Chain A
């Protein structure tokens, strides 16, 4: 058990706790949102340990910095807080779902992941350090994946237009 693994385990544990918090806080949506923020941050740290620095920063900036802020805004504007117990009518679904998830995790783990559990070597083209930095990603993005890039920007424009329309009082 080396240091990398220990770090990963701690981070993974916090991530799972955050995820459970998102699901579990029934009457406090703000707490759910904050747990999600925690989760996102932890995932970013995991990305850093993997060597994907650009992705990790992007994660913090976009997810935690934009999306979660949006969520929190909406929660606070709408003053959402359930007046009654949210899980009242859902108990059997919850239990079923939990059981199901456990089964899925166990099944997938056993069947698919066993070959991946031993150590896999890291191989890169020239430089192991070329996995993470923005240059590599930029080179690929604007040569190979330029079309999806443009379409993604159109998508974002559509999203903007749509949300403005939806937010207006009167169409």
Chain B
């Protein structure tokens, strides 16, 4: 226990405190502080825990860098402790966890600041930040926990918070359904995770001496991981099974195919939620799990192949679907799915640090893109359909500049965008990979195949991201000026903001979500509150307030090349993380050299960008307009995710229905049948036994005679056998 690292518990504790304070006292404080100061103070209370946590984490990271073994374990309190098993609440300060903590608290605090501006109209302001702080706390427990038990707590906790936040505007049933879907699909993944964990613990518990575990903390990483590699080499089947089960858990959380279907629906939540949870942090918990368990997972070539190819399929599918989306948030959602696929390609080919590298860069540019999209939506009266945008670069210049930085990050032009560095490190490792199995026995490994698919997806990424940027900020005259009111409604996000005529189309205000007319007028008199209205031809987009674009600047800086360059330089990140993985890195023959890879990346990204420019720069093409019949059939398929979502959702519901019916039949006929059968048997027995009671004298006489005759015969037999006559 190194006492200088003790403040780490504050990092976890502060967001919990924030959540509790805002949860219990928030509404009361908000009302008592009045409309002008209430939201500002509550907002500060919301942001402060996360910001302070970031400061502490930064300090501790520097301390950690000076340590030689780069590991510190702080026990906060004893949680489970009985005879032979001990699962304390202990936090692990090592390179992987501090990296993730910096991202979570750093980007998290920036998003918190943004959200104070974005959610300013909300009546349930404090509820939102309660959930958001709670989420940060759970995520920190997940990455900082030193044992599998804490990992699981954090895992489930972020699932719950995700559910709460997606369904934040729960009055609209569609949002609740989306939240349900997210949670349920997550649970399917958790099923695999739990099974994997149990199997792992079972193996560990049975082999404690071999693994060198001396105390009773079986689940702790410092007990499992040091000798895990040689130990698990001896159990190939078990290792494969465990790795695949853990990967199922990662699939659920990190939206891999086929468990990605919840992520697009999760866009029903507020945009800061999408940015924090579904771009930067929660969806990366799968990658964190893979990194933690890397000594075990890397022992099984089969599991690695499965991970790599699943990542590739996810990346490809996400990119393909993004082509057909017209909602700006949906494009970003599928882009997230696609980039998550990249991370798992990295994990699958053994480049675990590459996967984490992409997590870091992706957190920056995706959060930036989401928040920027949030700003655009805010400026366009909460309308999300890109077909209503156009030429916005003239209207919202700051947002435009920030979005361009984010775009550069993701499009992956080498040396300019940060995303390129991480993507390149993954893809180079992939195409040179020898860790996975061969594709049906050929010399091309699954990892290499995944790598080539990754290059193709890089081109697609560049293309659809450019499409999105152009449709929003360029491509002809402002399309909303000639708007058809029906179309205005089509892309309307479900933001329950309070303005006068919103009451009508949000249904009856049974739970007093909205300010009434009188309250609204009151607030307007006290503040300079702007009236919201639907997007119509008179709309003039205004730039978002400073509290919303200021936090995006650090994110923009991170998305540009500096961060990537710094981390990639001399494999800084790789060496930083290496104490986690502790494996030697051999030089193997490369299929393609570094320079070749660089050239391919250039060609691919620039090709995508230029291609999109050619199509979308001037105007919105007819083949993507309001008239669906003019759409390319493939594009129309992309709009509905090529049917994957429908098949999975309907299929699972129907399977559940069939299963339920089968159980009902079983219960009614077999179980109840047994119960009734018992009764019937009693009845039958009674019926049988009442046969002699005929009421007729003669039958009684007959029975008596039979009985008497039997007795006499018996006695006679005895007499005879004993010699008779005596």
Contact = CB atoms under 8 A, between A and B. Distances in A.
A and B touch in the complex (CB under 8 A): yes
Given A104-B709, A108-B712, A115-B725, A93 B719 contact: no
B716 interface: yes
Contacts of B719: 111-112
Contacts of A112: 716, 719-720, 724
A13 interface: no
A116 B724 CA distance: 10
Contacts of B716: 107-108, 111-112
B22 to A, nearest CB: 94
A116 B719 CA distance: 13
A63 B135 CA distance: 111
Interface in A99-114: 100, 104, 107-108, 110-112, 114
| Most B CB within 10 A of own CB, among A104, A111, A114, A116 | A111
Contacts of A100: 709
A117 to B, nearest CB: 10
A110 B713 CA distance: 11
B702 interface: yes
Contacts of B702: 93, 97
B717 interface: yes
Given A107-B716, A108-B716, A115 B709 contact: no
Interface in B696-726: 698, 702, 709, 712-713, 716-717, 719-720, 724-725
A115 B712 contact: no
Contact of B713 (A93, A97, A107, A115): A107
A116 B725 contact: yes
B724 A111 contact: yes
Interface residues of B, number: 11
Contacts of A93: 698, 702
Contacts of A97: 702
Nearest to A110: B720
A161 to B, nearest CB: 24
A114 B724 contact: yes
Interface in A74-130: 93, 97, 100, 104, 107-108, 110-112, 114-116
Interface string A16-45: 000000000000000000000000000000
Helix, strand, loop or mixed for chain B's interface?
Answer: helix
B720 A111 contact: yes
A83 B718 CA distance: 47
A15 to B, nearest CB: 21
A109 to B, nearest CB: 10
Contacts of A116: 725
A111 B714 CA distance: 11
Nearest to B717: A111
Contacts of A104: 709, 712-713
Contacts of A108: 712, 716
A107 B724 CA distance: 13
Contacts of A114: 724-725
Interface in B108-156: none
Interface string B677-710: 0000000000000000000001000100000010
A82 to B, nearest CB: 15
Contacts of B698: 93
Interface in B645-700: 698
A100 to B, nearest CB: 7
A110 B725 CA distance: 12
A83 B712 CA distance: 38
A100 B698 CA distance: 16
A26 to B, nearest CB: 15
A93 B705 CA distance: 12
B53 to A, nearest CB: 99
A147 B403 CA distance: 129
A104 B716 CA distance: 10
A106 B716 CA distance: 12
A60 B403 CA distance: 136
A53 B453 CA distance: 130
Contacts of A115: 724-725
Nearest to B706: A100
A95 to B, nearest CB: 13
B698 to A, nearest CB: 8
B646 to A, nearest CB: 75
B720 to A, nearest CB: 4
Nearest to A115: B725
A112 to B, nearest CB: 5
Contacts of B724: 111-112, 114-115
A3 to B, nearest CB: 27
A137 to B, nearest CB: 28
Nearest to B713: A107
B713 to A, nearest CB: 6
Contacts of B720: 110-112
B229 to A, nearest CB: 89
Nearest to A93: B702
B473 to A, nearest CB: 107
A104 B720 CA distance: 15
Nearest to B723: A115
Contacts of B709: 100, 104
B242 to A, nearest CB: 77
A17 B712 CA distance: 26
Contacts of A111: 716-717, 719-720, 724
A140 B337 CA distance: 120
B207 to A, nearest CB: 78
Interface string B293-333: 00000000000000000000000000000000000000000
Nearest to B721: A111
A112 B722 CA distance: 11
Interface in B396-411: none
A114 B720 CA distance: 10
B316 to A, nearest CB: 88
A114 B292 CA distance: 101
Contacts of B717: 111
Contacts of B713: 104, 107
A108 B702 CA distance: 19
B617 to A, nearest CB: 109
B41 to A, nearest CB: 104
A114 B726 CA distance: 12
A107 B717 CA distance: 9
A107 B716 CA distance: 8
B723 to A, nearest CB: 9
Closest 9 CB pairs of A and B: A115-B725, A111-B720, A111-B716, A112-B716, A115-B724, A104-B709, A108-B716, A107-B713, A112-B719
Interface of B: 698, 702, 709, 712-713, 716-717, 719-720, 724-725
Given A112-B720, A115-B724, 14 more contacts: A93-B698, A93-B702, A100-B709, A104-B712, A104-B713, A107-B713, A108-B712, A108-B716, A112-B716, A112-B719, A112-B724, A114-B724, A115-B725, A116-B725
25 contacts: A93-B698, A93-B702, A97-B702, A100-B709, A104-B709, A104-B712, A107-B713, A107-B716, A108-B712, A108-B716, A110-B720, A111-B716, A111-B717, A111-B719, A111-B720, A111-B724, A112-B716, A112-B719, A112-B720, A112-B724, A114-B724, A114-B725, A115-B724, A115-B725, A116-B725
